[in-house]
């Protein structure tokens, strides 16, 4: 059969050279020795015992993440127990003074309440709109691929850059929005100078920017659904609404929970839109937690205080998101199975 | 009744399309305006409503009232590209390890390590901004490309792990075992057998890394000053009470255009069902 010298001939180019990585279907049967030849790279790893080689995969990424994120986080915990600011830079021991100050900081708790309202309402609106859009272009519509691409575009654009553009759109005297509202009889509105309207403006931008992400996740889910239950529903004579309530929606339960959670995680960090669009104003009426911490830490340079604020923020968000995740699972996944 | 439903469907799709396109049309139109055209009130159609001018587009290369965005643009490409590649390599390796081998350290199991990776997305950037600032200053990397790349690698890796773990889990383990029997080490198994099979996953993960890297503003904003501005930072720097809307719009178009093309790629993956794994 095949001898060593014959294999050497193959590599010398008299016969077509074997290319790697070989397609899975091509080996091992197609190879003369029924095994993949060892290339240069293999010998280097041979020195590490095989059962240890699993660490080659995990450790590089894990160590980078620990170095870049875990250590700064531990450092933040230490800093939050100091009163590091412009006048007293450096680590000292202030005990829980910063946390006591935070307890009485109405502006912080107000920002937290506002962030909750903003993120929960925008994510729910995004979910409803995203689901509706996904259903619309799911099937049975002309040019659906065109609409899918179009609906995805906003999530690819840079949020801050689009927020700057939105700021010109909301401009009260020169922007295009008020003339349009005037023309359809609603009338011009003080978009960025009245608290309620400024809040609505932030919501509009968030919805424009991130509904596509919800749409993407939900449409991917819809397209992965099996077709048999829909056939069964059709045979049983169910109309479109009945089919949605009894077939589509229950099957989308787990995917919905996943999509809502991913968006809720991102929405809990909202700050860039606010920074560009309103700078937290008018007054502090659109300030979110991230933006308030930014003002305290990066602008006023109250490092110790902002560390205490951000740790509390992180813990509250982690706990809140876990609770939301549990509640949603119970509501949408188990509810659908019952 | 059926035609009524159909009409309603197309009406809804058209309305949302208008909402999506609205800001893009506005910035396209504004980018060809001069100062007079902007302060005269909102207009849309060149020649008919205002005299078009190329001032905004010319100001992208420096000049009065604009910014030279060439250097920030190159910086953004370097940082996003390098960080995405590194994050993708590290993230893919880690995801393969977590999907195939058992790791144990005290009470910590694979699921906990995976959760540690993915949970980094929960971390609000502001929590890390100040320690990052101090860390980069200590390393002498503040306001530099390597410093930004380091931070972006950490920010993007969770995305790569999140997407790739699911893709690796869909590849049967029998494939690995066959490769081992045929004399591959874990590393060569990964490189020659498994990696070619998760190419779609790599594209999806790489795409998400690019999107989130290119579009990030906060870290670039807090960790750089004048030497190494990234694109979003230099565009937002134009945002003030006397914003030159024409330069701003032109800069915004060249900034969002390259990634908008990715929408086509994402749609192709949707049609083939390649994204289903990432959702679950």
pLDDT of residue A185: 83
Query: DSSP H helical segments within A189-331, as ranges?
Result: 195-223, 228-235, 240-243, 249-251, 253-267, 272-277, 289-294, 303-328
Query: DSSP H helical segments within B189-272, as ranges?
Result: 199-215, 218-223, 231-236, 245-260, 262-272
Residues of B in contact with A223 (CB under 8 A): 270-271, 273, 276
- DSSP summary character for residue B190: I
A17 min Cα distance to partner chain B (Å):
16
Asked if B29 and B109 sit in the same domain, the reply is no
Residues of B in contact with A162 (CB under 8 A): 23, 252, 256
Of A147, A157, A290, the CB nearest to B259: A157
CA distances to A301, B130, B136 from A88, rounded to whole Å, are 11, 16, 21
Tens-place pLDDT, residues B217-234: 999 998 988 888 899 998
Q: Token match 């239950």: residue?
A: A229
Lowest average pLDDT, out of A56-65, A295-304, B263-272, goes to: B263-272
Backbone phi, psi, residue B158, to 5°: -55, -35
Mean pLDDT of A10-34: 43
Asked if B43 and B141 sit in the same domain, the reply is no
Tens-place pLDDT, residues B41-81: 777 888 777 888 888 888 888 766 667 888 899 999 999 99
Q: What is the maximum span of chain A, computed from C-alpha positions, in angstroms?
A: 89
Which candidate in B146, B187, B235, B265 is best for mutational testing of the A interface (most A CBs within 10 A)?
Answer: B187
Tens-place pLDDT, residues A219-265: 988 888 888 888 899 898 888 888 888 888 888 888 898 899 989 99
Cβ-proximal residues to B198 (8 Å cutoff; 6+ apart), any chain: B92, B164, B167, B168, B171
- For residue B256, being part of any structural domain is answered with no
- For residue B217, being part of any structural domain is answered with yes
Asked if B49 and B118 sit in the same domain, the reply is no
Region of residue B62 (phi > 0: left; psi between -120 and 50: alpha; otherwise: beta): left
pLDDT of residue B193: 87
The domains of chain A are located at 105-337
- For residue B174, being part of any structural domain is answered with yes
Residue A9 has pLDDT above 50, yes or no: no
- For residue B63, being part of any structural domain is answered with no
Classified as helix, coil or strand, B171 is: coil
Cβ-proximal residues to B189 (8 Å cutoff; 6+ apart), any chain: B176, B179, B180
pLDDT of residue A43: 53
pLDDT of residue A313: 94
Q: What is the CATH number of the domain that holds B140?
A: 1.10.3720.10
Q: Which CATH class is domain A105-337?
A: mainly alpha
- For residue B114, being part of any structural domain is answered with yes
Residue A312 has pLDDT above 70, yes or no: yes
Of B185, B245, B270, the CB nearest to A168: B245
H/E run at residue B36: helix B35-39
* A294 → chain B, closest CA residue: B126
Mean pLDDT of B120-130: 86
Residue B103 has pLDDT above 50, yes or no: yes
Range of the domain at B16: 2-58
Specify whether the CB–CB gap between A35 and B182 falls below 8 A. Answer: yes
- Write the ipTM: 0.90
Tens-place pLDDT, residues A167-196: 999 988 888 888 888 888 888 888 888 889
Specify whether the CB–CB gap between B154 and A68 falls below 8 A. Answer: yes
Residue A205 has pLDDT above 60, yes or no: yes
Mean pLDDT of B104-108: 85
Mean pLDDT of B113-117: 88
- B96 and A CB contact within 8 Å: yes
pLDDT of residue A238: 84
- A50 and B CB contact within 8 Å: yes
Asked if B75 and B53 sit in the same domain, the reply is no
Of A39, A55, A314, the CB nearest to B123: A314
Classified as helix, coil or strand, B105 is: strand
């Amino acid at each position: 059969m095949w001898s060593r010298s014959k294999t050497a001939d193959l590599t010398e180019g008299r016969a077509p050279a074997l290319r790697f990585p070989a397609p899975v279907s091509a080996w091992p049967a197609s190879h003369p020795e029924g095994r993949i030849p060892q290339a240069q790279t293999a010998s280097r790893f041979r020195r590490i015992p095989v059962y240890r080689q699993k660490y080659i995969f995990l450790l590089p990424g894990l160590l980078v993440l620990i170095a870049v994120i875990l250590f700064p986080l531990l450092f933040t915990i230490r800093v939050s127990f100091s009163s590091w600011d412009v006048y007293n830079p450096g680590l000292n021991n202030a005990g829980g003074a910063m946390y006591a100050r935070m307890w009485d900081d109405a502006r912080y708790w107000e920002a937290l309440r506002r962030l909750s309202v903003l993120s929960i309402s925008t994510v729910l609106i995004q979910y409803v709109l995203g689901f509706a859009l996904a259903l619309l272009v799911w099937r049975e519509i002309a040019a659906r691929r065109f609409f899918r691409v179009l609906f995805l575009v906003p999530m690819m654009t840079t949020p801050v850059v689009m927020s700057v553009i939105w700021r010109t759109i909301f401009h009260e005297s020169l922007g295009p929005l008020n003339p349009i509202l005037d023309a359809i009889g609603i009338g011009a509105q003080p978009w960025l100078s009245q608290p309620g309207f400024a809040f609505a403006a932030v919501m509009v931008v968030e919805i424009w920017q991130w509904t596509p992400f919800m749409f993407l996740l939900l449409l991917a889910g819809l397209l992965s659904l099996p077709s048999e239950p829909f056939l069964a529903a059709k045979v049983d004579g169910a109309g479109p609404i009945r089919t949605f309530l009894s077939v589509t929606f229950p099957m989308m339960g787990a995917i919905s929970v996943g999509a809502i959670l991913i968006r809720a995680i991102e929405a809990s960090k909202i700050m860039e839109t606010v920074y560009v669009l309103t700078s937290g104003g008018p007054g502090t009426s659109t300030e979110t937690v991230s933006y308030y911490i930014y003002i305290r830490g990066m602008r006023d340079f109250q490092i110790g205080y902002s560390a205490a604020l951000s740790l509390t923020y992180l813990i509250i968000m982690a706990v809140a998101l876990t609770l939301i995740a549990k509640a949603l699972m119970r509501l949408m996944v188990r509810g659908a199975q019952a | 009744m059926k035609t009524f439903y159909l009409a309603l469907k197309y009406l809804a799709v058209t309305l949302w399309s208008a909402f999506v396109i609205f800001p893009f049309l506005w910035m396209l139109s504004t980018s060809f305006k001069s100062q007079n055209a902007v302060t005269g009130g909102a207009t849309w159609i060149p020649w008919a409503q205002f005299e078009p001018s190329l001032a905004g587009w010319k100001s992208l290369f420096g000049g009065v009232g604009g910014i030279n965005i060439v250097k920030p643009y190159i910086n953004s490409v370097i940082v996003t590209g390098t960080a995405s590649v590194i994050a993708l390599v590290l993230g893919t390796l880690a995801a393969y390890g977590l999907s195939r081998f058992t790791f144990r350290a005290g009470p910590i199991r694979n699921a906990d390590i995976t959760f540690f990776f993915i949970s980094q997305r929960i971390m609000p950037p502001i929590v890390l901004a100040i320690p990052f600032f101090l860390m980069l200053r200590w390393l002498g990397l503040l306001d530099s490309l390597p410093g930004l790349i380091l931070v972006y690698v950490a920010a993007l890796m969770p995305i790569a792990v999140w997407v790739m773990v699911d893709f690796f889990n869909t590849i049967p383990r029998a494939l690995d075992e066959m490769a081992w029997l045929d004399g591959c080490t874990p590393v060569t198994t990964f490189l020659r057998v498994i990696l070619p099979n998760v190419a779609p996953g790599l594209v999806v993960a790489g795409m998400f890394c690019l999107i989130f890297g290119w579009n990030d503003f906060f870290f670039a904003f807090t960790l750089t000053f004048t030497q190494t501005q990234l694109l979003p930072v230099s565009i937002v720097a134009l945002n003030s009470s006397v914003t030159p809307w024409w330069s701003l719009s032109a800069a915004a178009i060249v900034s969002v255009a390259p990634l908008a093309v990715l929408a086509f790629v994402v749609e192709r993956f949707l049609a083939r069902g390649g994204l289903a794994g990432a959702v679950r």
